[in-house]
Amino acid sequence: MFPGVSGFEWSVAHVIFLGAFFTVLVVILASLTAAAIRYLRAWRERRAAAIRWHAEFEELPPAERLCRHALTGTAPGRLCERGFDCRTCAEHPAFAAREAQGLVAVPNGIDHSPDRFYHRGHAWVEPQADGTVLVGMDELAERLAGPAATVELPPPGAVLDTHSIAWQVQREGAVARVLAPIAGRVEETGSREQGWLLRIRPEGKLDLRHLLHGPEVAAWFQSELERLQGLLAPAAVGPTLADGGLLVDDLPTAQPEADWDHIYSAMFLRP
Amino acid sequence: MADMAVSRFPEPAVLDKGWIPRGVSRCSTAQFLGWLSPWVALLLLGLYAGWMCLRDGLYHTNMDHRFVFGLWIFLDLAIIALGAGAFFSGFLFYILRWHEMGAVIRSAVVLGFLCYSGAVVVLMVDVGQPLRAWFTFWHPNTHSMLAEVTFCITCYLIVLSIEYLPLVLKNRKLSQIPSFLVFEFQLHKVMPVLAGVGTFLSFFHQGSLGGLFGVMYGRPFAYREGFGIWPATFFLFILSAIAAGPAFLMLTTWLTEKISGHRLVRGSVYRLMARTSGVLLTAYVFFKCVDTVIWLNSTSQQAGFRPWEFYAWAPFGSWVLFLEIVVLGLLPALILLRASEEGPRRWLLCGAALACAGIVVNRLVFTIQTLALPTLPFDEFRTYLPNWVEVATFLGVVAYAVIVYSLSFRYLTLFPQEKELARATARGPQQEEIHVSGR
């Protein structure tokens, strides 16, 4: 008796037909089981944040996935395939070595500190002498949020993974979720007035190779400003030339009609 | 002026904005509900008609012992063929790695799911006794091609449901739940396996749907010789389905663009689908011609029929054959091949519409015309027209498909290029072209 079928006979037709049918069923069940086992394993190993970032990175349009070396002009048009994690990129050291020789920062109206390392999701990291790092929102993010925005920080003791959601910024219904630039445990929370938001004890040895630093930060900010200008331009107006003016402190108040939910998702890399 | 208009007549609220993917715009909630309401009414009518048949039997319909295959089976065959875009797109994307198909693969999965689930629902009403549906698996007639069709369609519907699930879990709100996102990610990893299974299943059930007509020795109009146990119609149904699948995908994508007012895929994707459909349709027309010549000159004559006898009964004259092979076969094949190289999009869509119509006419010929023609000396030619119950049941299925597709389009990311195209459009036509050509 073939499992589950009444009247089965050992004939060629029965064996081929039911054999193929049950093989298909087994393959479907095996695929689902494999997915379920991987799901449980990922859940146990706390890889949810990494998976979220991987999935969301895949959804980002090409303009938001440009390699850091494309922004500086060293590798024009190159797209990142590694979720902005240059620590695993084989080509990154060679590009970085070439840039170290002659890259010059170009002023762009956004203040940034040479001591800080910048994440592509507009958070910065500043190493401290005691082994911890301070983390905050960069100048552009501050202006995108505006002074009236409320910030929801994780409590001390919370463990963050790189690219997991570190904190939320809310402004009149629009929510920006800012990604954690490094992995570690939150030791202390600050405030926008203090100039930093989190003090984090990094996991293991501090490795900041995936973050932007030095003259490349200016090139990245320049590209981000252009991207923001494109997002803020009303569709009816079409392309406009940059006016060279200074960015206002409170962009949501200056342009209340803009789709801030969409702008936050694009600028903070949350598709 | 535009700003003044906006301030005087503020845009209606999108109350469900939190569920809509970021970076895309959708109509207001009120407009969306307005769009859905006639379809819901049609669905309710279809449910009522279907319930009548399930409760009282098929005497409510115009089907009888002669016309056991009526409107439902004819349209089932047609939508299953048109839904082949799902498995064929999956095959091109996951197995052959045609990355351009990624722009429409999600929509293809939803369309496939709707076509197959709709067909299964109609079959359930047609066969009746849905509570005994499991009999077909417990007591399969392994010598019937219909058994293969039933098994394959059931399995493929399971595969399509599994393929649809990650799209739902990727919804903006649902993906906030970490466990959903992780499960979706892991499901996505097994998609190539499921795409392979889907291709295998579809290949056989599309073929068997054709095969079940081709083996009907008592119906010389449909009977065909072939290879081994498979009549020629087995292969022709597969070829016609994979030719029509991309064409139907083009049409539905274009229709969604028109109704929503947004560009959803790049022109290059349309051209790729048109070229694929055109090449396959050309091959289909060639083999269909060979099959028709053999059938007219050999197969039917061995059964004691002269070729013109099949076409002596109005309204099924020889014009049907001409319409099927030339007007809705060769012509769209040439249009699709030509327009995929150059020319305006309307020619592509015209070719796609003709190709889809050709498949529908082919399935009509095999179901309705086959049964209408007399085969024995005491037989007479009989025509069949569906009554309102049959039409309403099927329109109910169409309404179900429109509703689910509309909800999917509103709340899921069916077209990954939409967001990028919206931004490019906002930047202006010139920059859009630069951006698109740079890809």
Write phi, then psi, for A233 (nearest 5 degrees): -70, 125
Nearest to A56 by CA among B193, B413, B104, B164: B413
Q: Give chain B's domains with CATH numbers.
A: 43-419 (1.20.1630.10)
> Which residue has better confidence, A246 or B393?
B393
Q: With 70 as the cut, is the pLDDT of residue A62 above it? A: yes
Q: With 70 as the cut, is the pLDDT of residue A236 above it? A: no
What number is the average pLDDT over the span B269-292? 94
pLDDT for res B249? 94
> Which residue has better confidence, B420 or A207?
A207
The ipTM assigned to this model is 0.77
Q: Which residues 135-174 of A are in CB contact (within 8 Å) with B?
A: none
Q: With 80 as the cut, is the pLDDT of residue B427 above it? A: no
By percentage, how much of chain A surpasses pLDDT 70? 89
**What is the DSSP code string of chain A?**
--TT-TT--SSHHHHHHHHHHHHHHHHHHHHHHHHHHHHHHHHHTT-HHHHHHHHHHHHS-GGGSB-HHHHTTSSTTPBP-STT-GGG-SSHHHHHHHHHHH------S----TT-EE-TTSEEEEE-TTS-EEEEE-HHHHHHH-TT-EEEPPPTT-EE-TTSEEEEEEETTEEEEEEPSS-EEEEEEEETTTTEEEEEEESSS---TTSB-TTHHHHHHHHHHHHHHHHHS-TTT--------PPPS-HHHH-TTS-HHHHHHHHTT--
Q: With 50 as the cut, is the pLDDT of residue B435 above it? A: no
Cβ separation A51–B182 shorter than 8 A: yes
Chain B residues with CB inside 8 Å of A52's CB? Answer: 178, 181-182
Q: With 70 as the cut, is the pLDDT of residue B198 above it? A: yes
Q: With 70 as the cut, is the pLDDT of residue B136 above it? A: yes
Q: How far is A52 from chain B (nearest CA, A)?
A: 7
Q: With 70 as the cut, is the pLDDT of residue B51 above it? A: yes
Nearest to B244 by CA among B356, B149, B395, B153: B356
What number is the average pLDDT over the span B213-229? 86
At A53, the pLDDT band (50, 70, 90 cuts) reads confident
At A75, the pLDDT band (50, 70, 90 cuts) reads confident
By percentage, how much of chain B surpasses pLDDT 70? 94
pLDDT tens-digit series, residues A35-45: 999 999 988 88
The whole-chain average pLDDT of chain B stands at 87
Cβ separation A28–B142 shorter than 8 A: no
At B65, the pLDDT band (50, 70, 90 cuts) reads confident
Chain B residues with CB inside 8 Å of A262's CB? Answer: 22-23
**What is the DSSP code string of B352-420?**
HHHHHHHHHHHHHIIIIIHHHS--STT---------HHHHHHHHHHHHHHHHHHHHHHHHS---THHHH
Secondary structure element (H or E) that encloses residue B182, with its range: helix B178-189
Q: With 80 as the cut, is the pLDDT of residue A177 above it? A: yes
At B430, the pLDDT band (50, 70, 90 cuts) reads very low
What number is the average pLDDT over the span B27-39? 94
Torsion of CA A100, A101, A103, A104, to 10 degrees: 110
Whether B147 has its CB under 8 Å from any CB of chain A: the answer is yes
pLDDT tens-digit series, residues B238-260: 999 999 999 999 999 999 999 99
Cβ separation A27–B138 shorter than 8 A: no
At A249, the pLDDT band (50, 70, 90 cuts) reads confident
pLDDT for res A271? 62
pLDDT tens-digit series, residues A166-175: 999 988 778 8
Secondary structure element (H or E) that encloses residue B230, with its range: strand B230-231
Q: With 60 as the cut, is the pLDDT of residue A111 above it? A: yes
At B2, the pLDDT band (50, 70, 90 cuts) reads very low
Whether B187 has its CB under 8 Å from any CB of chain A: the answer is yes
pLDDT for res A102? 67
Q: With 60 as the cut, is the pLDDT of residue B291 above it? A: yes
pLDDT tens-digit series, residues B98-123: 999 999 999 999 999 999 999 999 99
Chain A residues with CB inside 8 Å of B2's CB? Answer: 236
Q: With 80 as the cut, is the pLDDT of residue B1 above it? A: no
Whether B201 has its CB under 8 Å from any CB of chain A: the answer is yes
What number is the average pLDDT over the span B47-66? 91
Whether B14 has its CB under 8 Å from any CB of chain A: the answer is no
Which fold, A48-267?
Answer: OB fold (Dihydrolipoamide Acetyltransferase, E2P) (2.40.50)
pLDDT tens-digit series, residues A87-104: 888 888 888 888 776 666
pLDDT for res B98? 92
> Which residue has better confidence, B38 or A217?
B38
Whether B37 has its CB under 8 Å from any CB of chain A: the answer is no
